[in-house]
Structure 1
Amino acid sequence: MAARTGEQFLRGLKDGRELWVGGERVRSIVDHPALTGAAHALAEVFDLQHAAADDCLMPDPETGEPINVSHMIPHSREDLLRRHRGLERVAEYSVGLMGRTPDYMNVTFAGFAGRRDEWARNGNDEGADNLVRYQKKLAREDISLTHTIVHSTVDLAKGKYPVGFDPVQLHKVENTSNGILVRGSRVLATLAPFADELAVYPGSAMPNAADVHALAFCIPMDTPGLKFICRDSVAVNTNRYEHPFSSRFDEQDAFVIFDDVEVPRDRLFIDANLEVYNTVMKTSWWSNIMQQTMIRAQTKLEFAWGLATRMAEAINSASQPPTQQLLGEIAMYAEFARSSVFAAEQAAHEHGNGLWCCDGRPLLALRAALPTWFPRVNEIIRVVGSHNLLTTPALGALQDKDLRPLIDKYLRGVGIDAEQRSRLFRLAWDFTGTALGSRNEQYERFYLGSVGRNLINAQLFTDRKRANRLLDRFLLEDCDGTQQASPSALPRSLGQAAS
């Protein structure tokens, strides 16, 4: 099939999946009021890859068919820069508001297939071969894939991961003639209504879990026994003028129940193999996927900066020092994001088995900062916009022949008419203040882990060699400046052994 069009994508959503929104089982995703806007927006993403083919498409290495560049298994820095252009075009479409456009999972599985050696550990050759074959299928059929990798939260006093056997969490029940039977639950399947298939793979290690929890596989969304329970919709079924984001960018989030689901043998990547499950994500996954996630974040920050600046100009406050400071703060975040992505790509290197990934250090630091930056950006936009965010005439009012002259007179901006002013401030409110804006802020706070978890990761996984060398110069010298001890003579918390 190769790269699909939007029409082909929409046809693929007409299946028998069991998906619930607001207490109602959805019979037609494309037509349901809560889902139709995002369904057609995702269709536009699929059309985009053809409209911007030079950036978004590449020939399949084996068949020559056009596939999305996000399926590339990078083997050089040039490959990563080539992929960057395609990822950036997709991020620009939703200005970073859709965190789970299909390129996210495309990049993830390209990285997995590029490290078949990691997946083949501990006798898992069959699972590794299945994964490599599936990645080719994903690319060649242009499948829209989502995932569910977080364990259900029941009792955090027991930890975030299963300890021993936990019947609530997803687990293998038994072998079948065609594969295995699984049961349990997972969260959080973002994009569930608009995906063709569902992926399960490790979110993080489970050192004390029973083997039956160690699973990885991909199955169609309409597999019998799969149930998706969506959160309340934040979509607004109206014109794009009045709700420019809420009308199309609610990608949805779903709780997933596996009610005795059979996973075919050829779709199984990890089958109760805890050693593989606990190690496969530790090396290249972060450095690979964070190129996509941080390009999205950079795009969103740059949009936010442009939006806030244009609002300030519309009410002639952009030259005031307090406003300039607020705008400059967003500009600073956007530039840090751009610089981090650039540095990571320039320092890219092979991560094993010929797979090239970005340098993870700047992206890890950026990832730790974003859960605080994004809420702060929203706050700045709302401060700059103030009450103007709430004085935005609806399209019907603007089209009324009696009201329009009055609106043009009293609700215009500096250098823009009333209609453009309303459009501008509606953009800002939909970005920060509507139900969609609130959902996206919550999403960013915990995207790829909370700020606390990411700061801990930054501390644990950042290379300390140079920091220790700078420190040890002073800790290892006598009063006259001569060296009196080697680093190994220091306590572990001080010496090179700590790195």
Structure 2
Amino acid sequence: MIRTGAQYLAGLQDGREVYIDGARVRDVTSHPALRPIIAAKARVYDLHHAEASKAALTYTDDAGTHSLLLNPPLTREDWHRKWAGIDLVLRDLGGVVTRMGDETVGEMWSLADGRDVLAEIDPRFAENIDRHILASVHNDPFHVSANTDPKGDRSRPVEQRDPDMMIRVVKETDAGIILRGAKYETAAAYADQAFLKPTVGAWTNEKESQHAVGCIVKMGAKGVKHICRASFATQDAADHPIATRFDEVEALVVFDDVLIPWEDVFFYRHTRAAQHVRATLHRYSAFPFVLRLLYNADAMIGAAMWNARQTGLEKLQAVQEKLADLVCYREGIHAHLTASIALSETSPAGFQMPNQSLLYAGRVLACSQLPAMMHTARELIGGQICVTPDAAQFDGEAGPWLRKFYTLNDAWNADDRRKLLAYARDLLNSGYAGHRLAFAQFAQAPHFSHLAAVYRAFDFEGPLDFVRRAAGLSDRIHGAATAPPAKLGEAA
């Protein structure tokens, strides 16, 4: 069953414990800091039922009609349809939303790929993986990911820190395991459930650890507390047109003796299982993550080009060259995503897995070049994004002067000029813009992990063989110890 927006909103009325701005939130759906992004997610649910969009966002099987965005991909066409579906959703919303569920449910598919390995380690939980993948399709939850622990003083060994700095199992019961600790997560306060997995500890030869646990956690469960950061959504919409609609609020999610039923546990105690899951975690979810950065590149190009046209600078060679830099960045992301589908492979679970080397290389390009591309867009738009008065000034006593100096010509009046500059400032130069930049750099992993994923996914045998033959090296060195380790698909 695909839920409606109203059903999603009703599901959030579960007594969940959410705090923001120093106070307990009694109704997350109506709180001004959370209401805009919750409304956006509700709209996504409703688009699955709207006559004009449901064919592009759904598919039907013997069990009923389901969201295409949550469907495990079996063909290359499935990926193209997902891409088209996200395009439809984001165009309808009028902005980029990262945490919608489609970019986190892929972690469950990675679990299925490792099902046999996990079953060898601990056969108790393998069936839970299959059941939860079906449940994500049939029950249509808003599913997010609980990943990063506070960690504490990392100069100390894990055993010398406060043990709650990393999620841990404190007790086993007949009903399930009891968790303590905390995780940082985007959208947790208004999601239905999260896939909780460990940040890899400094494990060497340890076979077991209280921190090696992976499970599904209901976000409204007893003992789960969401301590949200301050929101950008409560600012004036005229001056902050992006943040007031699309700020995806993060929270420190505290687990205060939370019971996880055994049927929701995927692995427990075994460090090898935890490391295997972390090693393959993003093999699917990296695709929609990088796709969002493609749309962000489009926003930068659009804002910069509109500014060039407003100011009459579009024909200057220097302006065209900088616009071309933005285009090359955008098209590089597009090419990696397209090629990762075209050269996709069948995964151990039978899913269509994007080509890992191309996908991870695309993620490095999209994330590592984002700061430079944002600065290029700033240069193209100019200093007015940081000196333009707020919208209230244009409507106040100083309005006539501002309308005079912000009117460009008969085609571009002061109102359009102010709106473009406000949009560009929120995209590139505001507190929200800085937050989103930091999010892009760390949401799936820090940059060194992105590079490690590329190293592990790339097939070095082709270049090694080429040079061996070209240089006339001895056949006996083929496959020597200089070859990289076996591919895992993602860095630990």
- Decide: shared fold, TM above 0.5: yes
Q: Structure 1 CA distance, aligned partners of 2:110 and 2:467?
A: 37
User: Per the alignment, in what secondary structure is the counterpart of residue 283 of structure 2?
Assistant: helix
Q: Is the 8 A contact 1:205 1:278 kept in 2?
A: no
> In the alignment, does 2:15 pair up with 1:19?
no
User: Per the alignment, in what secondary structure is the counterpart of residue 437 of structure 2?
Assistant: helix
RMSD: 2.8
Q: Structure 1 CA distance, aligned partners of 2:95 and 2:393?
A: 31
Distance 1:18 1:87, change over 3 A: same
Mapping for residues 102-141 of structure 1, pairs under 5 Å? 102-113=101-112, 116-124=115-123, 126-141=124-139
1:132-185 CA distances to partner (integer Å, 9 max, x unpaired)? 2222222222211222112323122247x7799944311111111311111122
Q: How big is the shift at 1:468?
A: 0.9
What residue in structure 1 maps to residue 415 of structure 2?
419
What residue in structure 2 maps to residue 482 of structure 1?
none
Aligned residue identity for 1:108: E
Q: Structure 1 CA distance, aligned partners of 2:118 and 2:248?
A: 30
What residue in structure 1 maps to residue 266 of structure 2?
269
> In the alignment, does 2:345 pair up with 1:344?
no
User: Per the alignment, in what secondary structure is the counterpart of residue 342 of structure 1?
Assistant: helix
Aligned residue identity for 1:453: S
Mapping for residues 37-436 of structure 1, pairs under 5 Å? 37-51=36-50, 52-59=53-60, 61-64=61-64, 66-92=65-91, 97-113=96-112, 116-124=115-123, 126-158=124-156, 166-186=163-183, 188-204=184-200, 207-208=203-204, 210-239=208-237, 241-283=238-280, 285-390=281-386, 392=388, 394-398=390-394, 407-413=402-408, 415-436=411-432
Q: When the two structures are superposed, what TM-score results if normalisation uses the length of structure 2?
A: 0.89
Q: Give the count of matched residue pairs.
A: 482
Moved more, 433-442 or 15-24: 15-24
User: Per the alignment, in what secondary structure is the counterpart of residue 336 of structure 1?
Assistant: helix
Moved more, 382-391 or 417-426: 382-391
User: Per the alignment, in what secondary structure is the counterpart of residue 243 of structure 1?
Assistant: coil
Distance 1:43 1:496, change over 3 A: closer
Distance 1:119 1:374, change over 3 A: same
Q: Structure 1 CA distance, aligned partners of 2:46 and 2:159?
A: 42
1:354-406 CA distances to partner (integer Å, 9 max, x unpaired)? 12111111111121223332111221222222232146565555556x76665
Moved more, 411-420 or 246-255: 411-420
Distance 1:416 1:114, change over 3 A: farther
Q: Is the 8 A contact 1:42 1:101 kept in 2?
A: yes
Q: Structure 2 CA distance, aligned partners of 1:76 and 1:437?
A: 36
User: Per the alignment, in what secondary structure is the counterpart of residue 177 of structure 1?
Assistant: coil
What residue in structure 2 maps to residue 459 of structure 1?
455
Q: How big is the shift at 1:50?
A: 3.0
Aligned residue identity for 2:318: P
Q: When the two structures are superposed, what TM-score results if normalisation uses the length of structure 1?
A: 0.88
Q: Structure 2 CA distance, aligned partners of 1:490 and 1:40?
A: 55
Q: Is the 8 A contact 1:88 1:295 kept in 2?
A: no
Instruction: Percent identity, please.
Output: 23
Aligned residue identity for 2:308: A
Q: How big is the shift at 1:84?
A: 2.4
Moved more, 344-353 or 442-451: 442-451
What residue in structure 2 maps to residue 481 of structure 1?
none
Q: Structure 1 CA distance, aligned partners of 2:485 and 2:171?
A: 46
Q: How big is the shift at 1:497?
A: 9.5
User: Per the alignment, in what secondary structure is the counterpart of residue 25 of structure 1?
Assistant: strand
User: Per the alignment, in what secondary structure is the counterpart of residue 120 of structure 1?
Assistant: helix
Q: Is the 8 A contact 2:179 2:257 kept in 1?
A: yes
User: Per the alignment, in what secondary structure is the counterpart of residue 263 of structure 1?
Assistant: strand
Q: Structure 2 CA distance, aligned partners of 1:96 and 1:492?
A: 49
Q: Structure 2 CA distance, aligned partners of 1:235 and 1:301?
A: 22
Q: Is the 8 A contact 1:206 1:278 kept in 2?
A: no
| Structure 2 gaps, min length 5 | 488-492
User: Per the alignment, in what secondary structure is the counterpart of residue 179 of structure 2?
Assistant: strand
Q: Structure 1 CA distance, aligned partners of 2:59 and 2:336?
A: 26
User: Per the alignment, in what secondary structure is the counterpart of residue 166 of structure 2?
Assistant: coil
| Structure 1 gaps, min length 5 | 478-484
Distance 1:392 1:489, change over 3 A: closer
User: Per the alignment, in what secondary structure is the counterpart of residue 16 of structure 1?
Assistant: coil
